[in-house]
Structure 1
Amino acid sequence: MIQWVINEVTEVSPTDLVLGLSCWALKWSAYLCALSVLLLGCFLAVARCMQWKSLKQLEHLPGSREMLPFLNDYIMFKACSQPDNPAGFGTLVLSTLSGLHACFQKYGMHRNYSGLTPIVIIYRADFVEELLRSNKVLTKGGEYNLLHSWLGTGLLTSTGNKWRSRRRLFTPAFHFRILEDFSSAINSHSMVLADILGKKSLDHNGVDVVPKVTLCTLDIVCETIMGKVLNAQSNEDLAYVKALLRLSELFLERTMNPLAAFESIYRMTAKGKEYNHCLDILHAFTRQVIAERKNDMKATIDTGSLLRTEDDSSSTFTKQKRPFLDLLLLEHFKDGKNITEEDIREEVDTFMFEGHDTTAVGISWALFLIGLSPAEQQKIHDELDFIFGDDTERHVTIEDMKEMRYRECVIKESQRLYPSVPFYSRLCEEPFELGGTMLPKGTVVQVSNYFLHRDPKVFPKPEEFRPDRFLPENSKGRHPFAYVPFSAGSRNCIGQKFAMSEEKIVIANILRQYKLQSLDQRDQVGLIADMVLRPKGGIRIKFIPKTSSKGA
């Protein structure tokens, strides 16, 4: 039998053999292709059945009547995979939502799907109030899971009892005392920024403010959170600074690629390996600062005495400037099991992440709008001249900020048009009623600040930059949830008062020295919507010394 097979094969010509093998390969390729199509069809059918219950409950809401699972994800992936469109995903998210908002604005909400997950996007004040006032929907949406390798489960990403206990613990740290303690540091770093912007603008006839402001806010948050003077503005080559800035870039790219959401896949890619290398640098730096601060506190005062005098306003320790890290270490000294050193690392990294990026884009957008509005800018200069006169060196004080009433209106109007966080979401872990509709378990509710702040019924001519909207007489009767740049309810931004004061000081110290001229109009600056609302291509501003005879 074997001999017969050998004889048969030897009698076949090489050409016939190759042809036969090719036909065999084509036949099995067709079988595999058909099997793949069949399996995909079965998968989509199962997925559709899994969706059916939520579809029936949400079908009366405005939105696409028929939505295939993963269709949106495929469209987004195609957009971000274009080599000439590196910011495609973040740009497409905003443009897609803008189109849907235009269709469904009168309803104040619409539904969508991401894979198998139903999403309800809301942008009407009463719906936002229902969601944010509820203590039943406190877990954040799945997009925050991408931050776990960086931030762990700190205050931003945690939920349940851990979040509640940490929130109670941290709230006292963010009253005005921390601002009083560190206003000098904010002033000093912002004056360094003002000098840098002036010199760069003179050398290059304008400067992209975003990277420069980012380094300034990084200096500020590092000193106020960790008690560490970083001097990032004068030393951009520090390993921690380079790693943090690069990590932010890589994280932005990661949010634009749906496949990168899978940790097991992402860590094997070149970008994933670079991302983890940057994480190692950041985490090592934070742990070193924590260890040094812990040893310093132990050396300065014995732990028992430190805990007894924690709330004693007459003690030497409490009279010193105390960064956020000190509060965590005090709790650690009380009971190392309640908050470990790794817990402290998570929280410090969380506040470093939250505290520099969002504030940086907030300041940048405000400077951009001021530079486009000569009349509004003049009102700010008049207010600053009244408070400071010709003195450009004196630090801005708490009392000075109380006099900056129009400046506050300008910042609020800037945050209305360009909220630092354009979208944020909550996961329904149980059925939740919103606007008379019972949302099924697993639904993600997304608050769209960007569109909420553009409700023409609340803000007439919403695309116009009009700071006087926020004068007290014009704010009367406005729905309290029509404007929520820092979120609201129990999961609002814990550092919002500090962030507002920081923006006031930084912008004041810049405008005391310069007149601003933005070099691009609003329709020339594209938007990228990821965790924060970024300008596509930067924000170019010319800084003209106030002593110059040139106009703004």
Structure 2
Amino acid sequence: MISWIFLTCVIFIISFLWKKRWLLYHAWKIPGPFSVPLLGSAFLLSATKNNFFDLIYRTLDSCRPVTKFWAGSQLYIVTTRPTHVEKILTSCLGKSPFYDNLGSVIKDSLLTLKVSLWKEHRKMINPSFNSKILNSFHDVFVKYSKEMVKFLNDADGSEQANLVSVIWEKTLDISLRPTTWYYSCHEASPCSCLTLFINVDFRIEEIFIERFHKFWLLIDFVWKLSSLHKEYQAACQTSHGIAEDIIAEEHKSCGTETRNTLLSESIQFSGDIIRNELFLPRLNTLNHSNQITRKEILEETSLMFVASSETTALTVNMVLTILGIYPDIQEKVFQELVSVLPTIEKDPTLKEISRLDYLDRVIKETLRLVPIVPFILRFTDEDIKCDSYVFPAGSNILVPIILLHRDPDVWPEPEKFNPDRFLPDEVAKRHRCSYIPFSFGSRNCIGLRYGMMLVKVMLATILRSFKVQTVDLKSWKDIEWEYLIMLKPKNSRLLFEKRTF
């Protein structure tokens, strides 16, 4: 009996290695850390929540420009060469199986869909992010940015230790406006639900990362037996429940009488936009013609709420933190604001916001040093030749944006904060994939223009009213990071001093 079991195991191992022979052959030619059977190199990344991100960063930084590591039977290839990155992001549109660990919360969304379905969904959703739609919501961005100013005024200089959550709630509320018709036409939004959604989403991210750094939980049957899996499923159901409520509210507004009422109320919010151009009404219309399922709508909506609000909140908070650390740069931003927007009582127009070139460069330089999403993962189903390397079919390609943005061969003095790196003449000198905070190629972030527009409006509105100071931070290097899918500061405490014109 023992001999039969042994023989079966040997046959299984030989069969497994034979199927992966080309993967193993090309992987052998790529340098990488020590790995062991079954676990690969995953045990090297076992860490506590407090140092998980730092460990990954140091490990990858020591192995640039090209390295590999094994996580179980999955091969991960890491590259920081812009030419490689361009080839990968334009030819490898499939997402890594790593994202399957997100579970059901956004499994059928733009983030994780297989290429064929992703192309269909992207084509459906693209019209909701055209310039006409985005420009029509400028006034909404200004309105809610002024509410942030009111909140800070009411705080009266008090230290803001958890500003991300405050901004996140505002950006999530804003995201309902270009997403749905109903909330575009009404002042009210479900504030308690927004707070719950933020808390639940935060916990989902925590569990996702905890599963990754406790590598034994990546084994499905072990994961499904764990208490974290049960908590994760419950959190996903809560998140979906909130999205379902918003979808249901939108569905109610589809009736002729209700729609006409909303149309008359919508002018101050959405100008001359057409209802069916908005994200959720458009998907509901496509659902009626069986082009998209209700489950897919639910998951695209959940993704859109998180992607359009959390990334924006983190970016705004990070820029404010950087400006608090560098008061001379903050003063230049303020002088530009005074020049372009001399009257505090007058709301900034879309044209005026577009003239804030220095603020734009500050935002870009912040996202260079601190990309909110620091890594991209793709999966290749065919061999890809990059210089002397072959990235074999069946491998996961990891693009570490945070290392790409700090490559000393591309960025002189990479750890120095210098917004003038993004002057047109400087940009022209660099490879276009040396700076990719929103990814690159056809599978880039669909909300790129939406996010940048909202960030600029919110920052311009806040910085016209306040001077920002940091507490205990002398350099951006003093910031402690927590990686929960997105990069989040743990010790970003800010003070806001009212400005006088």
CA distances 1:251-308 after superposition (whole Å, capped 9, x unpaired): 4434443344455544543333232222222222222322332232133489xxxxxx
What is the match of residue 285 of structure 1? 242
Distance 1:458 1:270 in 2: 46
Change (3 A) 1:318 1:547: closer
**SS of match in other structure, 1:326:** helix
Matched, 1:509 2:438: no
Q: CA deviation at 1:233?
A: 10
Q: Superposition pairs for residues 212-291 of structure 1, below 5 Å?
A: 212-227=166-181, 228=183, 235=192, 239-262=196-219, 264-291=221-248
1:360 counterpart (302, 313, 333): 313
What is the match of residue 181 of structure 1? 136
Q: CA deviation at 1:148?
A: 3.7
2:440 counterpart (473, 488, 499): 488
Q: Which residue identity does 1:328 align to in structure 2?
A: L
Asked whether the 8 Å contact 2:32–2:68 carries over to 1, the reply is yes
Q: Superposition pairs for residues 40-51 of structure 1, below 5 Å?
A: none
Change (3 A) 1:322 1:68: same
Distance 1:354 1:148 in 2: 17
**SS of match in other structure, 2:77:** strand
**SS of match in other structure, 1:202:** coil
Q: Superposition pairs for residues 89-238 of structure 1, below 5 Å?
A: 89-101=52-64, 108-134=65-91, 137-200=92-155, 202-203=157-158, 205-227=159-181, 228=183, 235=192
Change (3 A) 1:67 1:139: same
Matched, 1:531 2:500: no
Matched, 1:387 2:350: no
Distance 1:447 1:231 in 2: 41
Q: CA deviation at 1:174?
A: 0.9
Q: Which residue identity does 2:246 align to in structure 1?
A: V
Change (3 A) 1:510 1:234: farther
Change (3 A) 1:256 1:445: same
Change (3 A) 1:46 1:545: farther
Change (3 A) 1:471 1:122: same
Distance 2:367 2:312 in 1: 11
Q: CA deviation at 1:489?
A: 0.9
Q: CA deviation at 1:171?
A: 1.4
Change (3 A) 1:411 1:317: closer
Distance 1:61 1:266 in 2: 31
What is the match of residue 430 of structure 2? 478
Q: Superposition pairs for residues 367-386 of structure 1, below 5 Å?
A: 367-386=320-339
Change (3 A) 1:177 1:45: same
CA distances 1:375-425 after superposition (whole Å, capped 9, x unpaired): 11111101111122241x433322112111111100110111011111111
Distance 1:265 1:271 in 2: 11
Q: What is the percentage of aligned positions where both structures have the same residue? A: 27
Q: Which residue identity does 1:354 align to in structure 2?
A: A
**Could you tell me the TM-score, scaled by structure 1's length?**
0.79
Matched, 1:347 2:307: no
**SS of match in other structure, 1:277:** helix
Distance 1:234 1:208 in 2: 18
Matched, 1:461 2:413: yes
Asked whether the 8 Å contact 2:275–2:281 carries over to 1, the reply is no
CA distances 1:304-349 after superposition (whole Å, capped 9, x unpaired): xxxxxxxxxxxx985569631122122223x1x2112222112111
Matched, 1:54 2:43: no
Change (3 A) 1:272 1:330: same
CA distances 1:101-133 after superposition (whole Å, capped 9, x unpaired): 3xxxxxx32222222222111111111111122
CA distances 1:39-79 after superposition (whole Å, capped 9, x unpaired): 999998987777654333233333347665514222323x2
What is the match of residue 546 of structure 1? 499
Change (3 A) 1:41 1:462: farther
**SS of match in other structure, 2:256:** helix
Matched, 1:331 2:286: yes
Asked whether the 8 Å contact 1:215–1:232 carries over to 2, the reply is no
Asked whether the 8 Å contact 1:232–1:241 carries over to 2, the reply is no
Distance 2:144 2:153 in 1: 14
Asked whether the 8 Å contact 1:368–1:539 carries over to 2, the reply is yes
Q: CA deviation at 1:442?
A: 1.1
Q: Superposition pairs for residues 403-442 of structure 1, below 5 Å?
A: 403-442=355-394
Matched, 1:87 2:50: yes
Change (3 A) 1:143 1:528: farther
Distance 2:388 2:451 in 1: 36
Distance 1:541 1:100 in 2: 36
Q: Which residue identity does 1:58 align to in structure 2?
A: A
Q: CA deviation at 1:493?
A: 0.8
Q: For structure 2, which runs of at least 5 residues remain unmatched after alignment?
A: 260-270
Change (3 A) 1:258 1:377: same
**SS of match in other structure, 1:149:** coil
Distance 2:297 2:310 in 1: 20
Q: CA deviation at 1:502?
A: 0.9
Q: CA deviation at 1:235?
A: 4.7
Distance 2:205 2:484 in 1: 11
CA distances 1:406-451 after superposition (whole Å, capped 9, x unpaired): 1110011011101111111111122222234332221111111111
Distance 2:154 2:9 in 1: 60
Distance 2:147 2:276 in 1: 21
**Could you tell me the TM-score, scaled by structure 2's length?**
0.86
Distance 1:248 1:494 in 2: 21
2:398 counterpart (446, 451, 456): 446
Asked whether the 8 Å contact 2:173–2:194 carries over to 1, the reply is no
Q: For structure 1, which runs of at least 5 residues remain unmatched after alignment?
A: 1-31, 81-85, 102-107, 303-315
Q: CA deviation at 1:186?
A: 1.8
Asked whether the 8 Å contact 1:131–1:434 carries over to 2, the reply is no
What is the match of residue 43 of structure 2? 74
CA distances 1:219-256 after superposition (whole Å, capped 9, x unpaired): 22233223537978965885444433443443443444
Asked whether the 8 Å contact 2:438–2:444 carries over to 1, the reply is yes
Q: Superposition pairs for residues 2-17 of structure 1, below 5 Å?
A: none
Asked whether the 8 Å contact 2:379–2:396 carries over to 1, the reply is yes
Q: CA deviation at 1:215?
A: 1.8
Distance 1:189 1:153 in 2: 31
